Amino acid sequence: MTKPSQNPVNKFYVTTPIYYINDVPHIGHAYSTIAADTLARYWRTQIGDDNVLFVTGTDENSKKTVEAAKEAKLPIEAYTKKTAKAWQGVFDNLELSYNRFIRTTDNDHVKTVQDILQKVYDKGDVYKGVYEGKYCFRCEAFYKDEELIDGKFCPIHKKPVETLKEENWFFKLSKYEKQVLDYIEANPHFIEPESRRNEVLSFIKNKGLEDFSISRETQDWGIRLPFDESQVAYVWFDALLNYVTAAGYGTDEFNKWWPANVHIVGKDIIKFHCIYWPAMLLSAGLKLPEKVFAHGFFTIDGEKISKSLGNSVDPVELTKKYGNDALRYFLLREIPFGADGDFSFERFKVVYETELGNKLGNLVARTAAMLSKYCDSTYGQNKVVVPLELDDDITNLKFESYLQKIFTRIEELNGVIEETKPWELAKTDKVKVKEVLSGIASELVELSKWLSPVIPEAASKIQKTFSSGKVDSSVGILFPRIES
């Protein structure tokens, strides 16, 4: 593999959204984290483990947490500890290779938020005002009447909004309108995909940026403002700052990691990441991230994932049966990253059986078996004639085309077996058989390097099967048939 042709990359810092703990983790949440994990794994192979930082975690200081703790009849600290642990447990089960699991209740994060709040206050970017408006507690955001459905319902959750009137501290977002706009225009890859970039640009140009309230008067749970102990920080102001906390804000480490290379987010939260966040960073005198990539949403059997429909798919249940690789492969191969898509068990099983089982698994098994049978379990490590060049696909988060190209090659290799029929050739030409099978084994070793960020377990099994010219048949079947 070669390094990408663009700027040399010395370090790579990737983040996911941090998740609200009142929800149970479903495959929608696993999606952002699997994509970030894939990038992190790729970059580790390029620049080494020490130069990659991959952060995920939980967003705990919202009003929803207070309500959920009440419902669970637990003191709030105990509730957050328990649920954050459960979230982390899910990510561990999925073998997501995060370097830090950040919680917004972590001490260093509280310190970061207070420090930055004080900075923006000292700069004169914060003032006190009264705000009355329609508020969605699920989004933790105010909406204008014209943004609501029928003037009543949240455009994202389709649930009624509440009227909120509070005396709050406001952040001068309007002051940064031009700078944010200039940054987006000067950096065509800052917001991706392009459709989201256009959405943000037209939002700024058509509506303009209004100051937003960054504190809550009536909430006790949260991070206290350093300049007004009677209020807590608005949960989004707090949550976005997790990205700088985790990069080591306030320590020498920070210079190494900041700015982030990619924030992976869902399309529902681009306003926060592409407008509020750059403005906050500008005010705090910090550099802006290189890229915010917004992926789409997926439905389950055509329906929105929702608690009330009870259709949320537990990623751990699914992977217990099919393995982590299968879920990773399905999500990144089926849904072009950035677009919306659908998850159905039917389709999942088809992809598992045909692509992973029949195409990849069979190729590995057949090649290994024939090398054992006809070539004494040894093969010549050939140089791959036309190696794939996929760095640009993966560094640009084009996971779908990345995998499609790898699987085209896998099909070609299956085709070589069908055409050359090594089982017949073995009767007449031992040298030729070894040549054909050595070629395939060498290609598989090369392919396994590309596969390893996406399906790490299978990739390492392929490497073990064909390690250093000798076939190890003890590895077993990569994607066994599963009875449903």
Which residues carry out catalysis?
Answer: 26, 29, 136, 139, 154, 157, 304, 307
CA pair distance 232, 255, nearest whole angstrom = 29
- Of 12, 13, 20, 170, the residue at the interface with ligand MSP (CB under 6 A) is 20
Residue 133 in contact with ligand MSP, rule: CB under 6 A:
no
Residue 240 in contact with ligand MSP, rule: CB under 6 A:
yes
CA pair distance 132, 26, nearest whole angstrom = 34
Residue 328 in contact with ligand MSP, rule: CB under 6 A:
no
Residue 223 in contact with ligand MSP, rule: CB under 6 A:
no
Residues in contact with 57: Cβ distance below 8 Å, sequence separation at least 6, in sequence order: 18, 19, 84, 100, 101, 102, 103, 104, 242, 246
Q: How far is the CB of 223 from ligand MSP (least distance, A)?
A: 14
Q: How far is the CB of 324 from ligand MSP (least distance, A)?
A: 18
Task: Provide the token pair at 196.
Answer: 């989201």
Q: How far is the CB of 21 from ligand MSP (least distance, A)?
A: 8
Q: How far is the CB of 93 from ligand MSP (least distance, A)?
A: 18
Burial label, 251 (beta-carbon count in 10 A; 0-12, 13-18, 19+): exposed
- Of 135, 143, 298, 399, the residue at the interface with ligand MSP (CB under 6 A) is 298
Cβ atoms of 60 and 84 closer than 8 Å:
yes
Residue 387 in contact with ligand MSP, rule: CB under 6 A:
no
- Of 38, 43, 59, 333, the residue at the interface with ligand MSP (CB under 6 A) is 59
Please report, for residues 232, 426, 449, the alpha-carbon distance to residue 387 in angstroms, rounded to integers and kept in the order given: 55, 27, 11
Sheet of 52-59, strands arranged across: 100-103, 52-59, 12-20, 262-266, 292-295, 191-192
- Give bridge partners of residue 192 from the DSSP assignment: 293
Q: Point out which span in 27-35, 216-224, 418-426, 454-462 binds ligand MSP (CB under 6 A).
A: 27-35
Residue 28 in contact with ligand MSP, rule: CB under 6 A:
yes
Chain centroid to Cα 67, Å, comes to 28
Total chain residues near ligand MSP (CB under 6 A): 20
Residue 266 in contact with ligand MSP, rule: CB under 6 A:
yes
What is the identity of the amino acid at 307?
A: K
Sheet of 224-225, strands arranged across: 215-216, 228-233, 224-225
CA pair distance 46, 9, nearest whole angstrom = 9
Task: Provide the token pair at 5.
Answer: 């042709």
- Of 268, 290, 314, 472, the residue at the interface with ligand MSP (CB under 6 A) is 268
Q: How far is the CB of 219 from ligand MSP (least distance, A)?
A: 16
Residue 17 in contact with ligand MSP, rule: CB under 6 A:
yes
- Of 254, 297, 358, 378, the residue at the interface with ligand MSP (CB under 6 A) is 297
Q: Between residues 268 and 314, which has the closer beta carbon with respect to ligand MSP?
A: 268
CA pair distance 79, 412, nearest whole angstrom = 53
Q: Point out which span in 21-29, 37-45, 163-171, 424-432 binds ligand MSP (CB under 6 A).
A: 21-29
Task: Provide the token pair at 67.
Answer: 């309500």
Q: Point out which span in 22-30, 188-196, 403-411, 443-451 binds ligand MSP (CB under 6 A).
A: 22-30
Q: Between residues 141 and 388, which has the closer beta carbon with respect to ligand MSP?
A: 141
The answer to whether the Cα torsion of 223, 277, 266, 326 is positive or negative is negative
Residue 395 in contact with ligand MSP, rule: CB under 6 A:
no
CA pair distance 7, 340, nearest whole angstrom = 30
Q: How far is the CB of 29 from ligand MSP (least distance, A)?
A: 5
Half-sphere exposure of residue 195, counting CA atoms within 13 Å on the CB side? 8
Q: Between residues 33 and 168, which has the closer beta carbon with respect to ligand MSP?
A: 33
Q: Point out which span in 19-27, 107-115, 175-183, 316-324 binds ligand MSP (CB under 6 A).
A: 19-27
Residue 360 in contact with ligand MSP, rule: CB under 6 A:
no
- Of 12, 13, 14, 32, the residue at the interface with ligand MSP (CB under 6 A) is 32
Q: Which residue, 200, 202, 189, 214, is CA-closest to 289?
A: 189
Q: How far is the CB of 6 from ligand MSP (least distance, A)?
A: 26
Residue 265 in contact with ligand MSP, rule: CB under 6 A:
yes
Residue 19 in contact with ligand MSP, rule: CB under 6 A:
yes
* Residue that the structure tokens 């699997």 belong to: 34
- Residues forming the site for ligand MSP (CB under 6 A): 17-20, 23, 28-29, 31-32, 59, 239-240, 242, 265-266, 268-269, 297-298, 305
